[in-house]
């Protein structure tokens, strides 16, 4: 077998409904702080959403914000933060060899809805349709906006993978480093989903949109009273480097991507299939060359839908049911579902476990659904488990796409 | 709209399109693109705002008439003479 270069995470740029830097996100995960708020959107009306409050003008001019998209803004914020966090001086790199790989659930719905609304104000006269529509809606938009903002020249495009996309970005970035296509990869996922009424309306029509009197308690994976998804925005981009390069420059290493797997259920447009998820998890472990009991923490996708959670727990139980030391948590209970950004955000919040040995809990678990019972589910209160060396981060999406990455603590 | 109001109107639109720029001290005879950061997409935005706010149609072959503030006034005043000034941004 070909020996591929090892790839490590050396920087994290994140904006989540519960924090705009990893330190704040982690603090809020340990303290049970949600980021879900009341929200209102055109046509749909009042609902709930996970909303980010990063300052777009920190890294963009007002004109860039006006001209660009929210997903582009999220990506630019995360990319700049990741570069800064990694301590990388981009001027010392060949601009052609810096790759930008954000995962997206979709892109263009927000901008298209806005434009249709805009022309509706002018009796659908298409002379009022903006020339910005095409550059805003092309599938590489968030990545391309990062390129323009950071003045780069390398490969920059998005990985479209429904709600599995955050892992896809990470995996693709690592592969491009391993192939020698780039020397730095900014990879992960982004979401502007709360700005499209369509996603709320579609989940509502599907009977899969969360409702609760208290917004902070609406997203409640594995709880008996869970009733659906809270839609969120946000993103996380990682600075990825080959281990050799990272060590050469004395970079801080958050962890190493030691395994991954992407596969498909092939069974349904919407409903997940435990068999497909199971194969994905086992594939990721096999690619990492580890057994299930070598995983310390399973970060579940856990959307808080009645059927999705059961399917996922079924898959997790089958793989890890016999393992005593495997802990399970999720992040959507705090921030809702950040779509293309979800997997990347969720992994980030767990990375500090490598340092402190603490597993943040899933919150809002008042009454466990017996069908979601899984060994070592860390519920409502953080647990000090001593040491966390290996994290499995899972993310699944519509049309049956599954993804899993295995990240290992870096011990020089 | 008077010629003076056309100046207010065009500066207001530029401020909306290019919100990072200071439009208060623009030279009326110099090319706008030489004074502030405006590209071709911005000019399309200016044309779009004129259409939205005042129903003014500027055909592509006339874009060059909008190169300076004075040029904008000469070209737009006949089109905007019977329109009311709308100010959206802070000039």
Report the alpha-carbon distance of residue B43 to residue A407 in Å, rounded: 49
Domain boundaries, chain B: 3-80
One domain for residues A177 and A131: yes
* Residue A99 · residue A182 · CB < 8 Å: yes
Residue A2 within any structural domain of the chain: no
**Where does residue A3 rank: exposed (0-12), middle (13-18), buried (19+ CB within 10 A)?**
exposed
How many CA atoms does the CB half-sphere of A4 hold within 13 Å?
17
Strand locations in A69-168 (E): 98-104, 159-160
Q: Answer with the one of A214, A248, A282 that is the final residue of a domain.
A: A248
A16: three-class secondary structure by DSSP? strand
- When pLDDT is cut at 50, 70 and 90, the band that residue B91 belongs to is very low
Which are the catalytic amino acids of A? 163, 301, 337
* Residue A323 · residue A245 · CB < 8 Å: no
Query: Which DSSP state fits A214?
Result: S
| B31–A contact, CB cutoff 8 A | no
Q: Can you give the pLDDT of all 412 residues of chain A as single tens digits? A: 678 999 999 999 999 999 999 999 999 999 999 999 999 999 999 999 999 999 999 999 999 999 999 999 999 999 999 999 999 999 999 999 999 999 999 999 999 999 999 999 999 999 999 999 999 999 999 999 999 999 999 999 999 999 999 999 999 999 999 999 999 999 999 999 999 999 999 999 999 999 999 999 999 999 999 999 999 999 999 999 999 999 999 999 999 999 999 999 999 999 999 999 999 999 999 999 999 999 999 999 999 999 999 999 999 999 999 899 999 999 999 999 999 999 999 999 999 999 999 999 999 999 999 999 999 999 999 999 999 999 999 999 999 999 999 999 999 8
Contact criterion met (CB < 8 Å) for B52 and A62: no
For the question of whether the overall pTM of this predicted structure is more than 0.90, the answer is yes
One domain for residues A325 and A243: no
Residue A253 within any structural domain of the chain: no
Chain B residues close to A66, C-beta within 8 Å: 17, 19
Chain A residues close to B18, C-beta within 8 Å: 63
Query: Which residue, chain included where needed, has tokens 């727990």?
Result: A313
Partner residues linked to A41 by β-bridges: A45
Q: What is the largest CA-CA distance in chain A?
A: 65
**Residue A173, CA distances (Å) to A97, A158, A261 in order:** 12, 11, 14
pLDDT tens readout for residues B27-56:
999 999 999 999 999 999 999 999 999 999
Q: Answer with the one of A248, A275, A308 that is the final residue of a domain.
A: A248
CATH number corresponding to B3-80: 1.10.1200.10
* CA neighbor of A28 nearest in space, from A234, A295, A325: A234
What pLDDT does A1 receive?
64
Residue A74 belongs to what H/E stretch?
helix A70-86
Report the alpha-carbon distance of residue B72 to residue A102 in Å, rounded: 42
What pLDDT does B89 receive?
61
| Number of helices followed by number of strands (H, E) in chain A | 14, 15
What pLDDT does B43 receive?
95
One domain for residues A244 and A263: no
Given phi > 0 = left and psi -120 to 50 = alpha, else beta, which region is A289?
A: left
Report the alpha-carbon distance of residue A68 to residue A319 in Å, rounded: 43
Which residues touch A35 (CB under 8 Å, ≥6 apart)? Answer: A16, A17, A18, A19, A28, A50, A51, A52, A232, A334, A335, A336
- Total domains, chain A: 2
CB neighbours (10 Å) of residue A81? 24
Residue A254 within any structural domain of the chain: no
One domain for residues A287 and A378: yes
Give me the sign of the Cα torsion angle A151, A152, A157, A159. negative
One domain for residues A317 and A199: no
First to last CA, chain B: 17
One domain for residues A236 and A289: no
Q: Which among A56, A63, A130, A149 is the top mutation candidate for probing chain B, defined by the most B β-carbons within 10 Å of its own β-carbon?
A: A63
One domain for residues A289 and A368: yes
User: Nearest by CB to B51, which of A63, A128, A132?
Assistant: A128
One domain for residues A185 and A288: no
* Residue A303 · residue A275 · CB < 8 Å: no
Smallest Cα distance from B48 to chain A, Å = 7
Interface of A with B (CB under 8 A): 61-63, 66-67, 122, 127-128, 130-132
One domain for residues A87 and A213: yes
Residue B88 scores a pLDDT above 80: no
What pLDDT does A412 receive?
87
Partner residues linked to A239 by β-bridges: A11, A186
| A-B contacts (CB, under 8 Å) | 24
What pLDDT does A149 receive?
98
Q: Answer with the one of A198, A224, A248 that is the final residue of a domain.
A: A248
Residue A274 has φ and ψ, to the nearest 5°, of: -55, -30
**Residue B5, CA distances (Å) to A103, A224, B11 in order:** 48, 64, 10
For A373, the domain range is: 259-408
Model ipTM value: 0.93
Query: Which residue, chain included where needed, has tokens 């070209």?
Result: B75
Given phi > 0 = left and psi -120 to 50 = alpha, else beta, which region is A20?
A: alpha
Report the alpha-carbon distance of residue A81 to residue A63 in Å, rounded: 20
CATH value at residue A135: 3.40.47.10
Chain A residues close to B45, C-beta within 8 Å: 131-132
């Amino acid at each position: 077998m070909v020996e591929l270069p090892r790839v490590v995470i050396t920087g994290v740029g994140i904006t989540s409904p519960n924090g705009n830097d990893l330190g704040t996100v982690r603090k809020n995960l340990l303290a049970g702080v949600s980021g879900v708020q009341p929200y209102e959107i055109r046509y749909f009306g009042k609902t709930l959403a996970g909303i980010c409050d990063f300052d777009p003008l920190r890294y963009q001019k007002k004109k860039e914000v006006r001209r660009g998209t929210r997903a582009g803004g999220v990506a630019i914020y995360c990319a700049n933060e990741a570069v800064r966090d990694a301590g990388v001086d981009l001027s010392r790199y060949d601009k052609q060899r810096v790759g930008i790989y954000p995962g997206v659930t979709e892109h263009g719905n927000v901008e298209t809805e806005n434009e249709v609304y805009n022309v509706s104000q002018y009796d659908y006269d298409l002379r009022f349709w903006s020339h910005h529509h095409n550059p805003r809606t092309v599938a590489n938009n968030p990545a391309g906006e990062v390129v323009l903002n950071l003045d780069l020249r390398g490969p920059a495009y998005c990985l479209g993978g429904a709600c599995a996309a955050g892992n896809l970005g990470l995996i693709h970035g690592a592969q491009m480093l391993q192939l020698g296509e780039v020397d730095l990869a900014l990879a992960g996922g982004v979401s502007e989903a709360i700005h499209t009424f369509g996603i709320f309306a579609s989940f509502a029509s599907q009977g899969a949109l969360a409702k609760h009197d208290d917004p902070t308690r609406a997203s409640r994976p594995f709880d008996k009273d869970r009733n659906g998804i809270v839609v969120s925005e946000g993103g996380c981009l990682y600075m990825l480097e080959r281990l050799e390069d990272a060590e050469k420059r004395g970079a801080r290493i958050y962890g190493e991507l030691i395994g991954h797997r992407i596969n498909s259920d092939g069974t349904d447009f919407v409903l997940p299939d435990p068999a497909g998820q199971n194969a994905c998890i086992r594939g990721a472990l096999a690619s990492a060359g580890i057994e299930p009991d070598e995983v310390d923490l399973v970060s579940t996708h856990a959307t808080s839908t009645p059927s999705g959670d059961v399917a996922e727990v079924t898959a997790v139980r089958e793989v890890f049911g016999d393992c005593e030391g495997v802990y399970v948590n999720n992040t959507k209970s705090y921030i809702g579902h950040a779509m293309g950004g979800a997997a990347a955000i969720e992994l980030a919040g767990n990375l500090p476990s490598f340092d402190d040995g603490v597993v943040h809990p899933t919150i809002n678990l008042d009454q466990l659904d017996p069908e979601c019972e899984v060994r070592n589910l860390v519920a409502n209160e953080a647990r000090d488990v001593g040491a966390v060396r290996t994290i499995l981060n899972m993310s699944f999406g519509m049309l049956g796409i599954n993804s899993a990455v295995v990240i290992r603590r870096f011990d020089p | 709209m008077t010629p003076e109001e056309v100046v207010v109107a065009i500066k207001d639109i530029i401020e909306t399109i290019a919100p990072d720029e200071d439009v208060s001290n623009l030279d009326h005879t110099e090319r706008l693109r030489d004074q502030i950061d405006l590209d071709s997409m911005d000019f399309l935005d200016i044309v779009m705002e004129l259409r939205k706010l005042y129903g003014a149609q500027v055909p592509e072959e006339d874009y060059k008439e909008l190169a300076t503030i004075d040029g904008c006034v000469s070209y737009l005043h006949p089109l905007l003479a019977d329109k009311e000034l709308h100010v959206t941004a802070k000039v």
